[in-house]
Every structure is written in structure tokens, then in C-alpha cells.
Chains A and B, each alone.
Chain A
């Protein structure tokens, strides 16, 4: 799988960012996983060598390698996805392919609204502290002060939701017209070829897996 993903990062012109993420995050995490599992996986079998009381067996090595690779592949394919795909392009393409607009809106607005909620929580904390709410002493006290913090955040957000609903409704959100999109999503022959090759690869690996086991 990595053999497939790495060349694709070049096609997407994000190879530099991709390798940086790969070296800093994916590689250390995967190797850590590899060593931990190689040493502590209690699968018996052919002992290759011994360090102090730790047995390294052929099975545990294989098992650890497989798991480390799984993590590496999953994280790196997701990294590649995030690096190459702008959320608004993804959504307009998905809507074009038949995803309901409401659904796309929920996903994409959540991505944007979360940081805003966070900022609002900070404002509420500051406001309540300036009125003497204790947020820094003992654990029990702090649990007690959660109420005045969470309450305004939740109720405030509910009110905001109503206003936002009005605002997007005023801009024709539920219009029955066929929606258009500001961006043209180019689907080149290269895109199509790669897509088919990838689908083919998935099928082949599935078949191999079934056939081998």
C-alpha cells in the first residue's frame, strides 16, 4: 500500500509536506508500535534471539510488522487525503455526485464552527471568571463551576442555530432549483485512470486475501 501512496503524493504535488508528516509522525509512531509489539506479544513459536528476559519470536516479529504497516498505511493515506483535498471542493463534488446539500452542509459547517465554539467557550470562561467564578482551585470546586460555563455555551449555541437557519434560508438554502457550484471540479483522464487503477488494486488485494487464506 505504501508503494501506491508515495507515488500518488508526487502526482498530487504535495510530496514535500507528505514526507515531512511521514518522517515526523507516521514513521516514529509505527516504529514504536513495531518494537513494543515485537517484544511483548506473547505469541509462541520459533525463538530467533533473546534479550534479557524478552523473547523475539518469528511470529511476534511478523505480527508487529503487519500492525505497524497497517497504522502507517492508514495514517498516511488519510494524510494524503487531507493534504490534497480542500473541504469545500470535496463537498461541491460530493453534492454534484448526488449527496444531499443538507448533509454536505452539516459536515462542512461543523468543521468551521468547532473552532468558533472553542473561542466562545474561552470568552464565557473569561467573563465568568471576571465575575468571580472559581476555575483554578480544588477539583470539586471546579466541577461546580462547570455549570455556569456549559449552560451559556449550550443555550447560546441553540439560539445561534436558529439565527443561522434563518440566514441560510434567506439565501435560498432549501430552494428546489438544481444547485450550481462556484468551482468547476476538473475530472481529468489522469484522475479517472488513477481511480480505476486504485479500485482494481483493492479488488486484487481482496481476491488475493481470500485466495491465500
Chain B
């Protein structure tokens, strides 16, 4: 059975006329790593809030349809019960720091204190999570003295440490350099292999292609495409509808138009592009 089950979900923010989400049907299996792409205003963040229970418990407005995680419906449970199963980290790391703690270690323990984890377990969990995301050396620093990318790692770790069944991430690498981004994607992939279900909003399509199991393209609050990274990210519909496309895909598409790309399918990552172009040029004297 699907761990995440959305059926015909439509949601309107208060005081708005057009729905932010429209007839969303989405089933996600346990341990699946789903990436969500889409232009600004497509409803990506709203989808995250809906999965994490903040719609309808925090944001008012009209929600119709079924939002079900682990067989429980969100409107039948309270937000504080919901967050035990679904963790949410979002874009702006600065506002995710609780402001009540003086070191990163304490900051990471904040969530565990709230849900009443015993002290010894709390310490091991925090230490393990810091090792996982590579921030052990920041343990004694003040969360406010960190760089944007470091704060973002702290924000991600502070959710990971709570060990939710479903992890919802809204652009968790927006302030990171390429190396940091790669590491975070690696961590998220590993969590998915351990059985955590991941739903990740991200613009960096090349990374999605390498790490995610499935990609959903959102547009105007509706699911526009849903499939494997290779299917969705190379679809000609993406570019036509204002989605971000990998530069390797667009290069190969142009090359294909003039006969330089021989393969049927287009590449998303650098490796696929190199492989395809070298095959096209095999036997030719340069």
C-alpha cells in the first residue's frame, strides 16, 4: 500500500480565487525518492505544506479531497501528531533556526526535547545525524554564526534527527555550493535506501536525474507530468511550458535537430551527454 496517498486534492488559500492545488492524485511507495519540479507559483511549496499537515492545520482555506499518510487522514489528526511521521524542511534556513538554542547541538536536540525523547537516546541520535550530514565539527558553534549553506544543513539535520517516516524537503540546497548540494542529495538518497520516503522540491534537474526515483512536474497547481527522471526531464513539453531543463538536454536537443545526436532518448546528466556525443562521433576523424 502507498505510504502517501493524495486523492483529488484541491486547495485554495484564504482570500484567493484560484486554487493553489487542483485535483492532485499522488501515490508514493515506502522508500521512494520523488522529486517535484515546476516554475515559480506552480504550487510546489503548497504541496509540501499539504503533505506536512500545515495545510489545513496552520494555513486556513479550503481543502477538499483525501490527504492520507500511513493510512491516516490529515484532517483527522492534530498537527503535533502528524509531524511525528512527516518531517518538513524548507528553503530559508535562517527562519528554521529555533532561536531558543545557543549551539548547533542544542538546536538539533530541540525537536527531540519537544517530543520527549530520553536524554541518552537524544545525544546518540543528534551525534549520528550530524555525522550523516557532515556537520559534526559545527556542534559547538552558534547556529546564527553559520553561513547560509551550513544553516541549511543544520535545518535538514534537525528534521532528520526526528526520524520521520516521510521526509518533505522544499529546496533544501538553495543556498549551497555544488559540492554541498551533491552531498545533501547523497544523504537524502541514503535515507531513501534505508526506507524513508522522500519528497523533494528542487530546481537542480541534473542532480534529480542522478538521485531521484521518480519526478513529478507541477504546473498551475496540477500534476503535469509524472514518471521516471529520464522520461519527465527530457520531455519536450517541459521547455515549452517554462520548466527548467538541464543544459545537457537542451544541448542534445539542438544537436539532434542538426543530426549530431544519434540516440533516440536525450541526456539529462553530463555522463549521459558525454556518452551519447562520443558514440555519435565514433569512427569520425576529428
Contact = CB atoms under 8 A, between A and B. Distances in A.
Asked if A and B bind, the verdict is yes
B79 A174 contact: yes
A86 to B, nearest CB: 8
B100 A108 contact: yes
Interface stretch (A5-13, A52-60, A162-170): A162-170
B14 interface: no
Interface string B66-98: 000000000000011001100111101011111
A59 to B, nearest CB: 49
Name B's interface SS: helix
A181 interface: yes
Given A163-B90, A172-B80, A172-B162, A109 B116 contact: no
B83 A171 contact: yes
Contact of B98 (A116, A171, A179, A182): A171
Contact of B113 (A160, A170, A182): A182
A193 interface: no
A163 B90 CA distance: 9
A177 B119 contact: no
B116 A87 contact: no
A112 interface: yes
Given A170-B52, A181-B119, A175 B114 contact: yes
B100 A112 contact: yes
Given A169-B83, A171-B83, A174-B80, A109 B123 contact: no
A116 B113 contact: no
A168 B100 CA distance: 10
Nearest to A89: B102
A48 interface: no
A173 interface: yes
A113 interface: yes
Given A109-B98, A172-B111, A172-B114, A182 B106 contact: yes
> Among the interface residues A86, A174, A175, A179, which one has the most CB atoms of the partner chain B within 10 A?
A175
A5 B110 CA distance: 34
Nearest to A182: B109
